[in-house]
Amino acid sequence: DRKKLHTAPVGQVFRLRPFHVLVATGGGYAGYRKYEDYKLEQLEKRGIEVPVKLASEWEVALYKSVPTRLLSRAWGRLNQVELPTWLRKPVYSLYIWTFGVNMKEAAVEDLHHYRNLSEFFRRKLKPQARPVCCLHSVISPSDGKILNFGQVKNCEVEQVKGVTYSLESFLGPRTSTEELHFSQAPPGNSFQQQLVTKEGNELYHCVIYLAPGDYHCFHSPTDWRVSHRRHFPGSLMSVNPGVARWIKELFCHNERVVLTGDWKHGFFSLTAVGATNVGSIRIYFDQDLHTNSPRYSKGSYNDFSFISNNNKEGIPMRKGEHLGEFNLGSTIVLIFEAPKDFKFHLKAGQKIRFGEALGSL
């Protein structure tokens, strides 16, 4: 009376499918990121400084040899694939748990509403979720973590404590097409001095790191006029704080979009820095900008003047106005001129949200 037991061939049982590989890889990466973030948080809570250990030239060259631009374009296409309705909640829930996303702030909390990962990354917030501070002249343009801030000294800017990069390499050399008020500076001055247009002013900087779980849109940090855009194709290396401590001039290696102009105190710039899987940096008023495009090669840059090609006034931006978006977490760098009594209301390493005060006079 024994019943026959029918078994499938071993090859069919252990056959790997793309979906299984994707889930296993994503789950492993999520666990790794969670563990790394936990270690950094514990060190910060205990007040222990992570020692600076810079990568050697061959390590940087090896990292840059990885086809991160190609991989980021592939990731971008994958993010645009529409997910089945039944799969959306499990996939997005894993992402929410991994990166600590607060969906209660989202304009649409229902996970089934987002057809693909790209829509979920670029989710909008409820209008009351980010009130814009009216009492301070400069606000945070995005959610994120403050990596560094302060005065620019000796033409060097700190990306994290103890690790710097060249101001001129980051913004690029001056050209005749730029409207940066260079003509007001005496010839022969350093690049930093040429940016300062008013006597008695100083140059300041602030670096904000957007984690993958943060709100991915960025806004105008003050009332200013955008006169020029410079796009550096560059690499797409990771910009998380651990890598920023490891690779000197990381922000100068990576793809970035530099917006320059002026505010009531002189020179003002906002730079959106790309990173691995952040192949798309979008500026809402700049339809000609195409980032991570195969037609652009590393080591070059292209300029666009909003004064000569658009209008004589440039692009006026109001504090808190929508400016652009990333397709994943990345970095915003502010470099601006202000009087000597300008004060930041920040602490290095603190979390900040769009609309909160950065500093004021």
pLDDT reading at 311 higher than 60:
no
Active site residue 118: no
Average the pLDDT over each of 77-81, 213-217, 242-246 and give the range with the smallest value: 242-246
Q: What is the pLDDT of residue 278?
A: 66
pLDDT reading at 176 higher than 60:
no
Active site residue 288: no
Spatial separation of the C-alpha atoms in residues 326 and 277, rounded to whole Å: 10
CA–chain centroid gap for 62, Å, is: 23
Spatial separation of the C-alpha atoms in residues 149 and 204, rounded to whole Å: 7
Tell me the CB-side half-sphere exposure of residue 287, using CA atoms within 13 A.
Answer: 2
> pLDDT (tens digit, 9 = 90+) per residue, 83-140?
999 999 999 999 899 888 999 999 999 999 999 988 888 888 998 889 998 889 999 9
Q: Which of 143, 214, 262, 286 is catalytic?
A: 143
Spatial separation of the C-alpha atoms in residues 195 and 267, rounded to whole Å: 6
Most confident option among 33-47, 112-126, 159-173: 112-126
120's enclosing H/E stretch is helix 117-121
pLDDT reading at 42 higher than 80:
no
Active site residue 219: yes
Q: What is the pLDDT of residue 177?
A: 45
* Predicted structure pTM score: 0.81
| DSSP codes, 298-357 | TT--EEEETTTTT-TT-EEE-TT-EEEEESS--EEEEEEEEETT-EE---TT-EE-TTSE
Spatial separation of the C-alpha atoms in residues 331 and 251, rounded to whole Å: 9
**312: pLDDT confidence band, cut at 50, 70 and 90?**
low
Q: Which of 181, 205, 216, 219 is catalytic?
A: 219
Q: Which two tokens stand for residue 289?
A: 């900008």
